[in-house]
A and B are shown apart, each in its own frame.
Chain A
Amino acid sequence: MAEKPFTLAVPDADLELLRKKLELTRLPDELEGSKWDYGVPLEDIKRLVAKWKDGFDWRAAEAKINAIPQFTRDIEVEGHGTLNVHYVHQKSELQNAIPLLFVHGWPGHFMEVAKLLPLLTAVAPDQPSFHVVAFSLPGFGFSEAPKEKGFAISQYAEVGHKLMLALGYNEYVTQGGDWGFLITRVIAQKYGGKHAKAWHTNFPVTGPPSLTYSPGLFLRFLVTPFSAEEKKGIERTMWFRSKGRGYFEEQSTNPQTLGYSLADSPAGLLAWIHEKLVTWTDGYPWTDDESEYFCVVKGDMSSKPVLTPSPLIVEVLTWISIYWFSRPGPAASVRIYYEASTAKDWDKTQYVPIPFGISLFPKELARVPKLWTRAIGKLVFASEHESGGHFAAHEKPAELADDLKKMFGVGGPAFGIVTGKSGYTAA
């Protein structure tokens, strides 16, 4: 059960296979004027594949990832044996910092926490500090994948909880979005009070079933007294429901069939995930501008200049590469949809009595009325933002970190919730 430091070092053979496959990429055609209506535009994929093949420096990206303290340890999961779990663990310099477990979703990964780390672990008299733990969900990133059927939300929750205990954090708080919302909700349901002391989400959706039955009618009825912003949120919800759920339907019914494509085709995996990175964010500038290339002239002026991809392209390719090089492969990551859809052992409606906070970003995929979020749990903190989408920790780290600081800081509704760890220097 010992903690082992983890250094990401993708074997050369894997890099070589990727390069070979990229070179053999066969692209489809595209209808005139299709833009984003039919999926990721051909031009985007062409550009990204070209750069992934030639110019993207994985070793440099890997080094940046390795600058963040990572570890692995074995976690026992009831009915599933032992899984070797990979996680980020960045401690604050302050001993009494608040232990916080960050839980990602799909197509997210452990590095979604990266921008939050310096903000949350900072020590200052006017803000609480946190120790941050962010694990790769089993089946994602560099955690082992479960081998048996039925590894669903309760099991992910069990892993997160046991990890915190193993790290000596008997009491902790959580932050999660996407699947991380459901996972931290079950953590709060099962381990709340004694261990999980408070929880925060940027994805306060009560779950697909609620939106499935007469969503239009129900939401339209509720939308009448609401503001223009909230109406926009409903529009967004309806867009997602009617245009954005194809991946969900396939992943929750035939993840293995889809998995063959994701495991075998870098371009296919790239398109599958990149579509979400673009359509689920709020204008986050993933796509590059030719002018953002920077040019390195080697040796004398007569040599050809070497172009390297813009930092934004590097971001996308690093993101996809984490999936491509993931320990269990990308196909394992989509099984969570199947398992969560078929699991019967968790109650989606159980009210959670521990303090609960939400941050609302306008381009999140579903906007439920605030009234609904009160049914999830003991809502003590809510904030709304003018911009930002689904990948809030990556798009709006400052805003998200600020919200956590407000919720857990002096004067905040969850101040001092973790015994003896207020996040401030002892007075």
Chain B
Amino acid sequence: MAEIPFTLSVPDTELELLRTKLELTQLPDELEDAKWDYGVPLGDTRRLLARWKDGFDWRAAEAKINAIPQFTRDIEVDGFGTLNIHYIHQKSQVKNAIPLFFSHGWPGHFMEVSKLLPLLTAESADHPSFHVVAFSLPGYGFSEAPKKRGFGLRQYAEVGHKLMVALGYDEYIAQGGDWGFGIVRTMASLYGERHVKAWHTNFPFMYKPSLSAHPLIWLRDLVTPYTAEERQHSERAAWFVKKSYGYWAEHATMPQTVGYSLADSPVGLLAWIYEKLVIWSDDYPWTDDEVLTWISIYWFSRAGPAASLRIYYEFGTEEGQADWAKLKSPTIPFGLSYFAKELPFVRLFWTRVLGNLVFQSTHDSGGHFVAHEKPELLVGDIRKMFGSGGPAFGVIPGRDGYAGK
């Protein structure tokens, strides 16, 4: 099937509706000296709102997005019919480049891959090159949303996998963070060995290994004192549970209820997502236009912002939880990059439980949106893992990522 090019072109009427809504925005008050304690500060919201209304040029942002090669294609999903999937597909000049599937999460989107593209597709004798495919998750960006209940990680994985195969990448590797971690791990488990040859994540979401399942790791955990870095990570994770978990609880129980707000109020959507962009990243110096582009992708998304929340609900159901718990641990090579301000807490000797760990690295900077915050660090790790001398070098026969010998 030939690729159908996609050009983002938000209708004028939608821009007009957004503008009208922004002009009618009614803001709340704020407690004195609230800072970030109660949520997004009013000063930030006012400033972003003013810029969004007057100064932010969506057409310019759209043009930048369109500089990246995007396409759509229909993918059949078992039990869910056909979904029209939007994706980026940037090929390398290197014919034998390694096909890499990138999956974003929430509140991420397909453009999170954009800073990685020139780095991953670059040709060099010193590092491998990749063909990159990054889809909009169904229900996000410009992919269609599922219409029925029960669309869980298994289904997102099915879409990702079928997309790669449809593009002629019968064998490929996968990289993801946030929900992208869950998706690529599921892909690695379900399609590993035959199709997925290795996987990598920057989001090691796991619980402490249990005594019954992993006694040696459990014992080691008991007797090994925490390092300073581990303490910091652990505090970050505790902070998340204490202070930053509310959105998850609502998404996982009543996504439709909060969805009405996010679909109807630009400033409501802005606050809901911007809060995460700031507190989950590692002091990333967001520019207002960067933020507004990010939020606008959600605002103008094909399925609307409410659809993006349902992944939490489906994961939280009994079926969703059982599916995840009983997913066979992938056997293919697995790599982890652990950044300083990422949200989950793991000790480096736990992570082999997630998969066949062949590569692990830590960094003293970078947060949750690391592909956007520290693209060179993330790509550096991927190059180390797959490059000549690396633990996953040549994992795809005939596609080692280097120009012909």
Contact = CB atoms under 8 A, between A and B. Distances in A.
A33 B39 contact: no
A267 B260 contact: yes
B256 A265 contact: no
B261 A39 contact: no
A299 B258 CA distance: 44
Nearest to A244: B253
B29 to A, nearest CB: 6
**Looking at chain B's contact residues, is the secondary structure mostly helix, strand, loop, or mixed?**
helix
Given A149-B34, A249-B245, A264 B265 contact: yes
Given A31-B147, A260-B45, A332-B29, A253 B257 contact: no
A30 B256 contact: yes
Interface string B107-127: 000000000000000000000
A414 B250 CA distance: 42
Nearest to A250: B246
B203 interface: no
20 contacts: A17-B26, A27-B264, A29-B306, A34-B149, A37-B149, A40-B256, A40-B260, A246-B246, A246-B258, A251-B246, A256-B34, A256-B40, A257-B39, A257-B275, A259-B39, A264-B265, A271-B257, A272-B261, A330-B28, A335-B38
A28 interface: yes
Contacts of A272: 257-258, 260-261
A32 B261 contact: no
Contacts, number: 212
A221 interface: no
B17 A38 contact: no
Contact of A42 (B29, B147, B148, B256): B256
A20 B247 CA distance: 29
A21 interface: yes
A328 interface: yes
Which 3 pairs of residues, A with B, have the shortest CB-CB distance? A268-B261, A261-B268, A257-B39
Given A38-B313, A254-B275, A272-B257, A246 B21 contact: no
Contact of A256 (B30, B262, B264, B305): B30
Contacts of B33: 148-149
A157 B265 CA distance: 35
Nearest to A245: B249
A217 interface: no
A150 to B, nearest CB: 9
Interface in A12-37: 17, 20-21, 24-34, 37
Contacts of B265: 260-261, 264-265, 268
B326 to A, nearest CB: 21
B32 A20 contact: no
B1 interface: no
A213 to B, nearest CB: 15
A22 to B, nearest CB: 10
B263 A28 contact: yes
Given A27-B260, A264-B265, A252 B254 contact: no
Interface in A294-353: 328-332, 335, 338
A24 B263 contact: no
A39 B254 CA distance: 4
A260 B28 contact: yes
Contacts of B26: 17, 21, 263-264, 329
A265 to B, nearest CB: 4
A270 B259 CA distance: 12
A253 B243 contact: yes
Contact of B249 (A246, A257, A264, A270): A246
A32 B32 contact: no
Contacts of B40: 254, 256-257, 260
Contacts of B28: 256, 259-260, 262-263, 329-332
A264 B305 CA distance: 16
Interface residues of B, number: 65
A260 B262 CA distance: 10
A330 B305 CA distance: 22
A262 B32 CA distance: 20
Interface of B: 17, 20-21, 24-34, 37-42, 45, 145-149, 242-272, 275, 303-307, 310, 313
A255 interface: yes
B267 A260 contact: yes
B228 to A, nearest CB: 27
Given A246-B252, A259-B39, A331-B28, A268 B264 contact: yes
Contact of A39 (B147, B149, B258, B305): B258
Nearest to B14: A26
A235 interface: no
Given A24-B21, A253-B243, A254-B275, 16 more contacts: A17-B26, A21-B21, A27-B264, A28-B306, A145-B29, A148-B32, A149-B33, A246-B250, A248-B249, A256-B42, A260-B27, A260-B45, A263-B28, A264-B27, A264-B268, A269-B261
Given A255-B39, A261-B262, A268 B245 contact: no
Given A149-B31, A329-B29, A246 B253 contact: yes
A41 B275 CA distance: 27
A77 interface: no
B253 to A, nearest CB: 4
A24 B20 contact: yes
Residue of A146, A242, A249, A265 ringed by the most chain B CB atoms within 10 A? A265
Residue of A17, A26, A34 ringed by the most chain B CB atoms within 10 A? A26
A331 B307 CA distance: 24
Contact of B29 (A24, A243, A331): A331
B149 A31 contact: yes
Nearest to B28: A331
A245 B251 CA distance: 11
Interface string A100-142: 0000000000000000000000000000000000000000000
B29 A328 contact: yes
A146 B40 CA distance: 19
Contacts of B257: 38-40, 246, 271-272, 275
Residue of B24, B258, B260 ringed by the most chain A CB atoms within 10 A? B260
Nearest to B303: A29
B86 to A, nearest CB: 17
A258 interface: yes
Nearest to B149: A31
Contacts of A218: none
Contacts of A42: 256
Nearest to B268: A261
B37 to A, nearest CB: 7
A395 to B, nearest CB: 21
Contacts of A4: none
A29 B29 contact: no
Contacts of B17: 24, 26
Given A38-B313, A39-B259, A261-B265, A20 B24 contact: yes
Nearest to B27: A263
A38 to B, nearest CB: 4
A372 interface: no
